[in-house]
Amino acid sequence: MQVFETVLSLQNYFKTEFNGKSIAFIPTMGALHQGHLSLIKRAKNENDIVVVSIFVNPTQFNNANDLKNYPRNLDKDLKLLERNNCDLVFTPSVSEIYPDENSKKSTYNFGKIVEVMEGKFRPGHFDGVANVVSRLFKIIKPDNAYFGQKDFQQYILIKTLADKYLSDLNIQVHRCPIIREEDGLAMSSRNVLLSPEQRKSAALISQTLFWAKDNYQKYTVDELKKQITNKINADKYLKIEYIEFVSDPELNEITNWGLEQKIVACIAVQVGDVRLIDNIYLS
């Protein structure tokens, strides 16, 4: 496994080594877990070369404390990647990705995608995501890129970015299922920041979504939102930020059941200082 810190060294290596081979790319912010590894496994099955980036992208954090506290453990990550058949790791510095102030700005227009749910509650977040992923795509020029359904709205954003704005790069964007802990909690790098009590309570987030999947047709949309909100907020460590039902892939708000084929329930919950998201297909 090769590790590169600069764009130049990475691209020079590409020129000499990877002619004609299919390249998979998985962008991450590190603090790797089984969710990330599931993306790598799939990418390795479908491609010759797997490239993983580890970059805690400051421009996608709308909360300075979240950025400061974000877990970082590069040595552990590199060992894990080595053991999991990753071929190449890109660990750029902030100045490598953003050489000047102008390079931090994104000029895309994603309309509704950036206005609802995560877009609404984390202003600027998706601008940062689109900007960094577009930079990484242009540097690495993969054939395939893999993203998790865990960040459902992010996947929709990136798919739109690749198809609408970066179509000349011809990158196929793939989505991989959510990997969960035994009690159902969606794996997330931020989970390590939870206290033991908070961690126990956090399982209620996915358990409430599983309950919603089994019971949604018994309620109207508004009633179900209330039920879910009450269940989450009944726990002293949890505070719901939003629960929304949207269509996949349009992200249209669902106002009654039955018309849309694919309905996704998306939730964001504050657990102390840690903000967690999750989602589930209702139909």
Q: Which residues are catalytic?
A: 36
Nearest approach, Cβ of 47 to ligand AMP (angstroms)? Answer: 16
**Residue 142 CB partners (closer than 8 Å, separation 6+):** 23, 24, 25, 51, 171
Task: Quote the least distance from Cβ 27 to ligand AMP, whole Å.
Answer: 6
Which of 10, 38, 199, 248 binds ligand AMP (CB under 6 A)? It is 38
CA distance 237 to 248: 30
Beta-carbon contacts of 25 under 8 Å, excluding residues fewer than 6 positions away, are 43, 51, 52, 53, 136, 137, 140, 142, 144, 145, 146, 171
Among residues 155 and 227, whose Cβ is nearest to ligand AMP?
155
CB within 8 A of 216, min separation 6: which ones? Answer: 224, 257, 265, 282
Please give the order of strands across the beta sheet that includes 263-271.
238-247, 263-271, 274-281
Report whether 184 contacts 210 (CB < 8 A): yes
**Count of residues that interact with ligand AMP, criterion CB under 6 A:** 17
Rounded to whole angstroms, the Cα distance separating 238 from 140 reads 40
Shorter beta-carbon distance to ligand AMP: residue 49 or 176: 176
Q: Does 37 bind ligand AMP (CB under 6 A)?
A: no
Does position 248 interact with ligand AMP (CB under 6 A)? The reply is no
Region near ligand AMP per CB under 6 A, out of 109-117, 119-127, 185-193, 237-245: 185-193
Binding window for ligand AMP (CB under 6 A); candidates: 14-22, 29-37, 113-121, 163-171: 29-37
> Quick check: 151 binds ligand AMP (CB under 6 A)?
yes
Least gap, CB of 269 to ligand AMP (angstroms): 15
Q: Please identify, using beta-carbon distances, which residue of 41 and 104 lies nearer to ligand AMP.
A: 41
* By CB under 6 A, residue 129 contacts ligand AMP: no
The stretch near ligand AMP (CB under 6 A) out of 6-14, 27-35, 229-237, 268-276 is 27-35
Q: Which residue is nearest to ligand AMP (CB)?
A: 148
Q: Does 29 bind ligand AMP (CB under 6 A)?
A: yes
66-125 positions binding ligand AMP, by CB under 6 A: none
d(CA 238, CA 270): 6
Residue 186 in contact with ligand AMP, rule: CB under 6 A: yes
Among 47, 59, 160, 188, the residue binding ligand AMP under the rule CB under 6 A is 188
CA–CA gap between residue 223 and residue 57 (Å, rounded): 38
- 35 touching ligand AMP, by CB under 6 A: yes
Q: Is 187 in the site for ligand AMP (CB under 6 A)?
A: yes
For the bound state, the minimum distance from the C-beta of residue 119 to ligand AMP, rounded and expressed in Å, comes to 16
Interface ranges with ligand AMP (CB under 6 A):
28-29, 35-36, 38-39, 147-148, 150-151, 176, 178-179, 186-189
